[in-house]
Amino acid sequence: MHSPQQVSIENRLLAVLSPEDFARLQPHLESVSLDMRQVLIEPNTAIAYVYFPEAGMSSVTNNSSGGKIEVGVVGREGMVGLPIVLGIDQTPYEHFMQIAGHGWRIAADDLEQAMAQSRSLHRQLLRYAQASHVQASETAFSNANSDVEARLARWLLMCHDRVDGDDIQVTHEFIAIMLGVRRPGVTVALHMLEGMHVIRAKRGLITVLDRAKLEELADDAYGLPEAEYTRLMGTEPRDAALLSSSAVPGSRGWLRPRP
């Protein structure tokens, strides 16, 4: 099995670990492909593996009798399987790949053992847990206080942060499910953004043309979780270049692959 080297890791959470803490995980990390719609964690089921994406994006969704709605996203900045860090072996939420990619996985038992051996490792993963909590809280705030256009702009920005390039492969129907709104409302909002030359929408593909304008449209719905992530993950970086002064909300650099 290929053993990852920290210097080449593109998952930010793994990259900012101390060399000693990364070495605790290194023998147990397994390279995996992450296919679109692949379920990584089933709700109310024991978590077998924790995933660290390097490309692609996972959705965390609440699946109720009324339908499915997204409550969080995870890309190269974090991990899928956060309950393990909190000492919990399952979650009521489904985690699946919304945008295909690849990354690393580790057995939940191996991660738990590594955290038990290293307080600094556990502390760093808990810092990410706080950043993830802020993202979920801001999603709830946005859903309650922002109009469909602002929510859509925020969602597209979050996708844009986590993909390479400007293309986002997603359908109108899927966006509607993720935002918890009716498809006609999403279609109207997309047409509005397209008319403003902010995006270009084709069947199953959205291309971001003007990120600055997209951020303006999102207004307060976007930026706080990104700033909190940078503050928390940037306090003890293994390599200062990973989270440079340019990696701030409004900058395309905070989750971009290193050159």
**CATH classification of the domain holding 209:** 1.10.10.10
| Strand pairing category for 49-64 and 39-41 | unpaired
Could you tell me the residue range of the domain that residue 48 belongs to?
A: 6-143+223-238
How many other C-beta atoms are found inside a 10 Å radius of the C-beta of residue 6? 18
pTM above 0.85, yes or no: yes
Does 210 lie in the same domain as 151? yes
Question: Which has the closest alpha carbon to 48: 18, 83, 97?
Answer: 83
Spatial separation of the C-alpha atoms in residues 209 and 144, rounded to whole Å: 27
259 residues of the chain, pLDDT tens digit each: 567 899 999 999 999 999 999 999 999 999 999 999 999 999 999 999 999 999 999 999 998 877 788 899 999 999 999 999 999 999 999 999 999 999 999 999 999 999 999 999 999 999 999 999 999 999 988 888 889 899 999 999 999 999 989 999 988 888 888 787 888 888 899 999 999 999 999 888 999 999 999 999 998 889 999 999 999 987 433 333 334 333 434 444 455 443 3
**Which structure tokens are listed for 136?**
């979920």
Question: Which has the closest alpha carbon to 20: 109, 131, 117?
Answer: 117
Cβ contact 187:175 at 8 Å: no
**Does 1 map to a domain?**
no
Which CATH number goes with the domain that contains 105? 2.60.120.10
Radius of gyration of the CA atoms of the chain, in A? 18
**Does 85 map to a domain?**
yes
